[in-house]
A and B are shown apart, each in its own frame.
Chain A
Amino acid sequence: MNKFGYLLKEGFKSIFTHGFMSFASVTIIMACLLIMGSFGLLAINIDNMIGDLESENQILAIVDETYTEEEARALESQVAAVPNVTSVEFITRQEAMDDFAEQYPEKVFEGIEASTFRDRFAVHLDDLSLTAETSQALREIEGIAEVSDSLEIANGFVTVRNVVSGVSMVLVLILVIVSIFIMANTIKLTTYGRREEIAIMRMVGATNAFIRFPFLVEGLILGLIGAVLAFFIEWGVYDVVFDRIMAGLVGNIVEILPFTTLMLPVLIIYLGIGVFVGAFGGLIAIRNYLKV
């Protein structure tokens, strides 16, 4: 305990005795986390928006006009049983006409009876990329006359989503590699000035573990500080951007996730990366001075 306490204190003290370098390390960890985090949050929101839009996309399975409403309703279980269908909503002729009437000037519908329309099912799909197969399965149900699947729109969503997730994955990966590289170099720089100290420790018979421990503690603490600072800055910036967007015109169209719903995973990931990069960086950086 005596020795452990001493080493812990040494690690903590050296953060202050090497103030500028500690500041530099914390800043770098923070900057890297902010860049990665901001991009990650952007990607999550884009994904979420696309998800919202996707779930609004529905295909219509129109029932044969000779079917009565009761007969049509009886088809619901068959429609719902088709693979990839998440929800089914029965829409009567009257409701279909009312929907149309809402969207177009009333005059157009003057003199038109609800019986002009056909009963229909609004079907929501799980995976839009399987739209064509699902439509085909719906057509094969006895009593379904027609399926309107707006296939182009569905394919459009799928393409956008694939591109966004592909691009964001590649970018985040690049950012992670760049961050680790910058981090390693920063810590290398901070320990370069202390190689003399390490040489002295070796000469008086310190084991490598004894030399490493304070560096490990120092890296851990710096990583933690960087992560916590980055978290609060991210939170602040996110809220400002969130308010701006939601207050503006775009806010009516898209929905941005509030930070509070994302903060736990963001905090955990930040702390995880901060601690890992800090501790690992501290150990790599002194590796070269521990030979012989």
Chain B
Amino acid sequence: MIHLQDVSVVYPAGTHALEGVSLDVNAGEFVFLVGPSGSGKTTMMKLMTGEVRPTSGTVQVNGFDMARVKRRNLPKLRRTLGVIFQDFRLIDNKNVFENVAFAMRVVGAKTKDIKERVPHVLELVGLKGREKRLPQELSGGEQQRVAIARALVNAPDMIIADEPTGNLDPVKSLDLMMLLERINEMGTTVVVVTHEKELVNAFSKRVVSIEEGRIISDGSDGYYAYE
């Protein structure tokens, strides 16, 4: 799934975002990527989605060599991923159904398949009956579920979530994380980038901690296990 070997990323301004990072995530795993802001978590995530290229080292995601992948092949990589953001990133003037269907349109799915698949995914994330609503008519938690449905609809190999609970209250956050856990149990690899200690510690999952661009711990003992 993900294979990082001695990866460094230096931004043009000279910032060393990552230094000598090595990490493997296998199919079917659920991994928390944790660390304070500015630690390099977001850069790690961008390496996986192809928004940032490694300055040195090897990055492989779902079989794509991210240091060498051609720009025109990035869409192919991204179709194997489902990405979820802190700010949901829904299209304001499309309703819930269209926001989810949109991801299928992009890959050239048939209208018939879209009409079958989208309601199924919306039901899975608990949004049945909300198909016609516009994003601004939904709560934050519901909007994030739409984003998860959009990430899931093409049955990706892996879901990457960047601070998915950042804009949600603790109860909604827990609900959302349980939804991601369920999705993982159904076979999708899940990588969650976060800095919320309580949330991470509520699940006994693999936790990779990053600080100042380096991995400082990797285990199943919860957040800040090294403290």
A17 proximal to B (CB < 8 A): yes
Bound CA span A210–B77, Å: 16
Chain A residues at the B interface, C-beta cutoff of 8 Å: 2-3, 6, 17, 196-197, 199-208, 210, 292
Contact of B106 among A2, A197, A201, A292 (CB under 8 A): A201
Minimum Cβ distance to chain B for residue A205 (Å): 4
Q: Which residues of A have CB within 8 Å of B71?
A: 292
B74-90 contacts to A, CB under 8 A, are 74-79, 81, 83, 89-90
**B76, A205: Cβ atoms closer than 8 Å:** yes
Q: Which residues of B have CB within 8 Å of A203?
A: 49, 78, 83, 89
Minimum Cβ distance to chain A for residue B86 (Å): 13
What does DSSP make chain A's interface, helix, strand, loop or mixed? helix
Residue pairs across A and B with CB atoms within 8 Å: the count is 51
B57-98 contacts to A, CB under 8 A, are 71-72, 74-79, 81, 83, 89-91, 93
**A205, B75: Cβ atoms closer than 8 Å:** yes
**A200, B91: Cβ atoms closer than 8 Å:** yes
**A17, B75: Cβ atoms closer than 8 Å:** no
User: Contact size class for B?
Assistant: 20 to 34
Bound CA span A2–B113, Å: 12
Q: Which residues of B have CB within 8 Å of A17?
A: 93
Contact of A204 among B51, B76, B93, B150 (CB under 8 A): B150
Bound CA span A292–B69, Å: 11
Bound CA span A2–B107, Å: 12
Contact of A206 among B75, B90, B91 (CB under 8 A): B75
Minimum Cβ distance to chain B for residue A291 (Å): 8
B132 proximal to A (CB < 8 A): no
Bound CA span A30–B111, Å: 38
**B106, A210: Cβ atoms closer than 8 Å:** yes
**B89, A2: Cβ atoms closer than 8 Å:** no
B101-140 contacts to A, CB under 8 A, are 102-103, 105-108, 110-111
Residue interface mask B133-163, A partner, CB < 8 A = 1? 0000000000000000010001000000000
**A205, B107: Cβ atoms closer than 8 Å:** yes
Known contacts A197-B91, A200-B89: does B111 contact A207 (CB below 8 Å)? Answer: no
Q: Which residues of B have CB within 8 Å of A292?
A: 50-51, 71, 74
Q: Which residue of B lies closest to A211 (CB)?
A: B106
**A2, B103: Cβ atoms closer than 8 Å:** no
**B110, A207: Cβ atoms closer than 8 Å:** no
Bound CA span A205–B81, Å: 9
Q: Which residues of B have CB within 8 Å of A199?
A: 89
**A202, B78: Cβ atoms closer than 8 Å:** yes
Q: Which residues of A have CB within 8 Å of B111?
A: 2, 6
